[in-house]
Structure 1
Amino acid sequence: MEDYLKSANSGTVWALCAITVVIGFIQALLYMRMAKKTAAKIQLPGEIPNKAFRIGLISAIGPAMGVFIVMVGLMAAIGGPMAWLRLSIIGAAPTELTAATYGAQASGVDLGGAGYTLTAMAVSWFAMALNGAGWLVVTGLFTPGLEKLRNKMSGGDTRWLAVLSGACSLGIFGYLNVNEIYKGWGNALALIAGALSMVILVKFVVPKFPKLMEYTLGLAMIIGMFFAVLYDLAVA
């Protein structure tokens, strides 16, 4: 195990992975600059983009904590550079962990377990890359046409378009939540606690403290994770 981790954490791998991470960072900066220019072009009040940025930043805390925890586990199995790379550009921690696990199983071993050699790690890396490549191909080929399809389905009615987008979001997140419930009581408790705390915050706390509205999603995520941790400690 020490031999393959030595290769996985070599300076060459760090340098190669850094290239992709830096490109992703530059893309984020360019997107932020483009959004700022567009806001100025349409004469959008400055406080609105700033508020949107704060909301996104706070809301990302919960998911980022989960990604960080998985990244630490992946670092012990596939090396720091690749874990850093995959979770920096994809960010779907469960998906990356599953892909790495499937790669190990295809080699006839457990991820990071006995017999997990340099070859097995390479298969895990390939499985993760192949999984991510599918998303990139679909996004690159079909994203330009999705906007036309959405407008055609809405018939130009902005209200119907809002309903359609909202229904799609509810369906996606509902599907994800159901999958989490199936994983055990700890996940279910996190979901219930997060949902209830979101309702309480929006209905009772925000009317008294309106400035908390932009932090409600992040707070609900943290509360959900807190109750999940309490459950794990109680049953341990």
Structure 2
Amino acid sequence: MKAEILKIANEFGVWAVASLAIIVVAIQAVMFTKLANNTANKIGMEKSICKKAFRTGLVTAIGPSVAVFIVMVGMMSVIGGPISWLRLSIIGSAPTELTAAKVGAEAAGVSFGGADYGLNALATSWWTMALNGAGWLLVVGLFTHKLENIRQKVGGNDIKWLAVLSGAAMLGVFGYLNSGDVVKGGGNLVAVIMGAISMMLLIKIAEKVPKLKEYTLGIAMLIGMTAAILFS
């Protein structure tokens, strides 16, 4: 039964439809890059700064991308390659997408990837993943243009205060996300500890080797994931 479900999930038509969304994402990436370069030219920003920022983002994305890729391979064996590729390309949150797929299976009354995971369960997982991400897209489309006004009201046009507020918000978000991993223990705890230690050491090293500074986050992520695999 599982082989038959995967055959349907991996049909050419599904790949074709999924690829349309991926093409849109790729086009957006190119457009945003061009827009950023054009804006940099208008404000007189040096090309070297733009290239450095691009490299930093590129390297920093390696760590999260590896984690997403690993989860995607596992999901492909249950819900098929096209939908796994589509969901993790436009959303990028492996835990969220995997949870949505599991919730869909449970809603259909079966276990995710189990022997009783049939065509109806597959369809329910697909719909659950799609609806789960639809809310985010609606909020972004309807309220993004209002966020700048909110930011100005909260920050009171004080640049320093806005910087502190933004930093505190990011620390809170990542602290909350990591708290769950710390409680779970095992590989999650190892990844958090080793990633934090690596980041502190790399920052110190980067003070003496400035060229390393833009790569510290990506390297720390890779060290954390590698340590989790080796010592958990």
Structure 2 partner of 1:175? 176
Shift of 1:9: 0.3
1:209 maps to: 209
Looking at structure 1, the residues matched to 174 and 98 of structure 2 have their Cα atoms a distance apart, in angstroms, of 20
What is the rounded CA distance, in whole Å, between the counterparts of 2:181 and 2:96 in structure 1? Answer: 13
Counterpart residue number, 1:47? 48
- Structure 1 segment 7-18 matched on structure 2, within 5 A: 7-18=8-19
Output the TM-score relative to the length of structure 1: 0.96
Report what 1:32 is aligned to.
33
Report what 1:126 is aligned to.
127
Q: How does 1:161-200 map to 2 (within 5 A)?
A: 161-200=162-201
Between the two proteins, the alignment pairs up a number of residues equal to 231
Q: Identify the residue that residue 228 of structure 2 maps to in structure 1.
A: 228
Supply the AA of the counterpart residue of 1:190.
A
State the match for 1:104 in structure 2: 105
Q: Which residue of 2 aligns with 1:3?
A: 4
How many angstroms apart in 2 are the aligned matches of 1:3 and 1:199? 50
Q: Give the counterpart letter for 2:127 in structure 1.
A: F
Structure 2 CA distance for aligned equivalents of residues 85 and 163 of structure 1: 36
CA deviation vs aligned residue, 1:123-147 (integer Å, no higher than 9, x gap): 0000000000011011111211111
Q: CA deviation at 1:227?
A: 1.2
Question: Percent identity of the aligned residues?
Answer: 57
Unaligned runs of 5+ in 1: none
The Cα shift of 1:207 comes to 2.2
TM-score normalised to the size of structure 2? 0.98
Question: Deviation at 1:183?
Answer: 2.4
Corresponding position of 1:117: 118
CA distance in 1, matches of 2:3, 2:224: 37
**How far apart in 1 are the matches of 2:177 and 2:90?**
21
- Residue by residue, what CA displacement relative to the aligned partner does 1:22-68 show, whole Å, maximum 9, x if unpaired? 01110111111100100001010111111011001111111000000
Q: Partners in 2 of 1:180 and 1:29 — Cα distance?
A: 35
Aligned to 1:138: 139
Query: How far is 1:185 from its partner?
Result: 2.3
Runs of 4+ in 1 over 4 A off after TM superposition: none
2:74 maps to which residue? 73
What is the CA RMSD across the aligned residues, in angstroms? 0.8
